[in-house]
Every structure is written in structure tokens, then in C-alpha cells.
Structure 1
Amino acid sequence: MNAKETDGRDGRTGVAVVTGAGSGIGRAVTRELLRGGWSVVLAGRRAQTLEETAEAAGGGETLIVPTDVSQPADVEALFAATASRFGRVDLLFNNAGTSGPGGVPVEELPYEAWRHVVDTNLNGAFLCAQAAYRQMKGQTPQGGRITNNGSVSAHVPRPRSVAYTATKHALTGLTKSLALDGRPYRIAVGQIDIGNAATEMTERMRTGVLQANGEIAPEPVMDVADVARTVRHMAELPLEANVQFATVLATGMPYVGRG
């Protein structure tokens, strides 16, 4: 069967759009979905890294669409290309994000830096979810799944992370609202909150990061493949079942009790 014939109507596989697919968690999730038989649309700002992700996956049906999720026209083009190629969307993994400048005190954070984080993490997630929602509502069979990448910062902050933390808290509200509004149309919406998956972004955790008490301390990390398997599990549930929130983190990281 092709991608259109094995879509997510039965909770197995289908067509997935992965944002931020060029590196880190997005790359790992793309590889895991392709391994499971999904057709995957890879979205990200740089075509080269998207191509590297597709090549590293070692097979499976892919479509590469360079996309800046903060730009409405780019998002519109992403979902138009997906619909043109595959005819439907069964999963959006809303993963694209940026942490912004690290270690900057609130009073010194430039507005431009704040705005960049908000435009990418929150506005980008909304634009992609809105486009996916429109496609899922109108397609036959109706419905699909949206999984947002929230981060443990959707629950508790790190020091000097005001922009990132604010957007991740807002993403939780977005997830809840989308989940409620999607019910009549078989659109299941959930969120995965990830702590210290081993990627380029978290490499500094191994050497030491600022803690709430002002100390610099190393933190444990976990294999990003464990995150990818969790996302795939959430994705392959039948639409009558939904993981609303899942937290996956390195067991020994200072999360419980943080702050």
C-alpha cells in the first residue's frame, strides 16, 4: 500500500509533517517514523540539513520543504506541498524551536531576541497547527494528530531563560485549546515535554550549566532515540486515544524540585 492507503485513520501510519527536522529531536523523530513506515515531510530552514536527515534515515518516502515556521507564507507553502504530494496530513510534530541567547539577565535581553524566540517557538507552532488543523478537518477520512514539543521548561524554568520558558508555558495552553477545539473533527492534540535529550542543543549539559542556586554543574542526558520512540508511540495510537501530556527526561536531571 502507498502512503495514502495506510493513513492515520486507523491509528497506524500515514503522512507526517516534522518541523525542525534538520537536527536534534526532529532528526531522530523523522528517522523513527520512517523506520515505522510513515511518509515524512521534512521542514526546516536549511535544505542541506534536511537532506542529511533524509539520507541518514536510510530509506522511506520523504518530501523536503525548506520552511521558516515564523513566516505565514512559508507555512502555507509547506502544507500546500504536502497536500499536493500526499493528499492528506495524519501527523504534525510541531518541533521547530530556538532557545535564544543563553545566560542573559532579564533586564539585558534585547527585544529583538525576545521576539525571535516568540516568533519561532509560539507563533510558528500556532501557524503550523492552524494549517494542519485546516487540512485534517477537511480531508477524508477526517482527522489526524498534532504533537507539540513542549520541554520541561513548560513546567519549570532554568535561570535566565525568560523568553524560552514563556513560550513553552504558552505552548501548553495552545495544546489544551487545540485539543478541545479538535474534538468534533477527530483531531487529537498532545504534548511531549522533554528534558536533556542528547542533541547539539544540550551538549553543554555534560560540561556544566547554571543552576538555580547560582552554581555551574553538569547534568545527565538521555539518548534522543528514546524520545523519538515515545513520539512514535503517541502518533500510532488510534485517534480515539490520546496522550495529552508526556514527560520524558534523563532520570537523574535536576527537574523534580528544580528552582
Structure 2
Amino acid sequence: MRFKDKVCLVTGASSGIGKATAMAFAKEGGRVVVSDVNVEQGERVVNEIGSIGGKAIFVKCDISKREDVEHLVKKTVDEFGRLDCAVNSAGIAGNLSLPTHEYPEDAWLQQININLTGTWYCVKYQLQEMLKTGGGNIVCVSSAAGLVGQPENVPYAASKHGVVGIVKSAAIEYATKNIRINAICPTAIETPMLMEGRRKLAYNPEAKEEAINHQRMKRMGQPQEVADVALWLCSNQSTFITGHAMAVDGGAFA
């Protein structure tokens, strides 16, 4: 019960890593704010948390819209009185595979607006509340593509590298304010975004096999394995860690 009575906000919480993280916070006693653009699935997660005796609310939020993020954080504080932990998991991977010189501007801007600007909005407003209450923990879900290039998806790599830049910069700024800010950089995790998204691994056995073989463990990661890292980074078990971009990679970068 590491998060008993802590207020824990998770974006992108209707599925995948975000859902696993929201459920994990609830199981460890956290009061959870489930946020996503998908209302139906988000409310389903709230119901699942309720079924295990947890406390949660759903707040719809498109993180690329500043006013949505501002409302999300305000609603969190209005409902629970404070904000202790935030895991910013919302993001998209795009649906195009094209070399940089052919990549369309609108598709570039969509990923930058959601993955990069949206994450900055989240961190900005989360910090404002944590400063009022004397501290907190923020974890941003970046990607392996935040550490190395991703061919044929330049906006994703650029935006996820940018997320690491946000984390490192903010971590320095608030290191003496009892606020820790870290990033998680997963490789191939078995989530709807990866299985149904750009490369459609669920329907492309060759692409799935390639993803599996890239991991030294020769398997894909599971959302819960990433959620476990997020909770550890938000807990009192990692109190001397800030500004870190942690690979969750099955040994891929070893």
C-alpha cells in the first residue's frame, strides 16, 4: 500500500500502459484520476477500479489542448484536494511509415502537438499544484524512440526525445523543491497502440517477430511491467532518482 491516500493522476489511462498504471495505483491504495480522450473505455477503467474497492474518477482530456489539461488538474484538486503523483502516458505513434523528406506536415504536427506540447502542458500544470502542497512525483512515458532514432517515423522520435528533454530540464529546476520528475522509455510493449497501430503487429507476423527479436529476452513486454517501474519511480523507494530516462527494454539496449 505504497500509495495509501495519495492522489494519483494518469493520462492515457483507458488502455495499455496507462490503464495498467491506473489499476496498479488503485491496488496500492491510491485515489486515482483516470484521464483519456476515450470516454467509454476510461469510464470502464473507473468501474474496474471500483470493483476492487478502489476510488477513482474519470476526466476527459485531450492533452494537446491547454484548457483541457488545466481543467484536468483543477478537477483533480477539486475532487481530492491535492495532487501527489502523475504519470503522463497519453500519446500517439502515428499511422504512417515514411522517410523524413516525404513525411507530411499535418502528421508531423499532430504527433508534436500531442506527444510533446501535450506532455509539457501536463507537467506545467501538475508542477503548479505540487509546488502548493510541498512536493510530488511526475513520470512521463517517453519511448525507446526517445533514446535512439526510429526510421520512417521522425515526428515520433523527435517528440519522444523532446519528452526526455522536458523531464531532464524540469528535474533540475525542481530538484530542491521535493518534486522528482523522471521518464520511462519502453521498447516493444504489448499494447493496443503497438499491436493495432502504425505497424499493426497483431496482423503482421513478420513485424511482430522482428519486434520480439530486438528484445534480448525474446519476448514483448507487458503493460504491467512498465506500470511497475512507474509506481517505483513515484514511490519512496526511489527518493534519490530524478531527471532519469529509464529504459524498460528487455535488454534491447544492453
Q: TM-score, normalised by structure 2?
A: 0.87
Deviation, structure 1 residue 108: 2.3
Q: Which stretch of the first structure deviates more once superposed, 222-231 or 26-35?
A: 222-231
Q: Does 1:53 align with 2:57?
A: no
Runs of 4+ in 1 over 6 A off after TM superposition: none
Alignment of 1:14-163 (within 5 A): 14-57=6-49, 58-59=51-52, 60-139=54-133, 142-163=134-155
Over residues 44-82 of structure 1, what are the superposed CA-to-partner deviations in whole Å (9 max), with x where a residue is unaligned? Answer: 112111012222333311111000001011011101101
Shift of 1:227: 1.1
Deviation for aligned residue 1:104: 1.9
Structure 2 unaligned segments of length 5 or more: list them.
213-218
Name which of structure 1's ranges 55-64 and 223-232 shifts more when overlaid on structure 2: 55-64
Q: Look up the match of 2:221.
A: 222
Shift of 1:218: 4.8
| Alpha-carbon shift at residue 234 of structure 1 (Å) | 1.3
Q: Which amino acid aligns with 1:131?
A: Y
Distance in 2, Cα, partners of 1:246 & 1:105: 28
Maintained 8 Å contact 2:64/2:113: yes
Alignment match, 1:213: none
Matching residue of 1:208: 206
Q: Which residue of 2 aligns with 1:3?
A: none
Offset at residue 205 of structure 1 (A): 4.0
5+ residue gaps, structure 1, are 1-5, 211-215
Shift of 1:231: 1.1
Go from structure 1 to structure 2 and tell me whether the alpha carbon gap of 1:250 and 1:56 turns closer, same or farther (over 3 Å shift). farther
What is the aligned-residue RMSD (CA, Å)? Answer: 2.2
Distance 1:136 1:230 in 2: 21
Identical residues among aligned pairs (%): 26
Contact 2:144 2:186 in 1 (8 A): yes
Mean Cα deviation higher: 22-31 or 102-111: 102-111
TM-score of the aligned structures, taking structure 1 as reference length:
0.85
Q: After superposition, give the CA deviation of every residue in 1:141-169 in whole Å (9 maximum; x if it has no partner).
A: x0001101111111112220100000111
> Partner amino acid for 2:250?
A
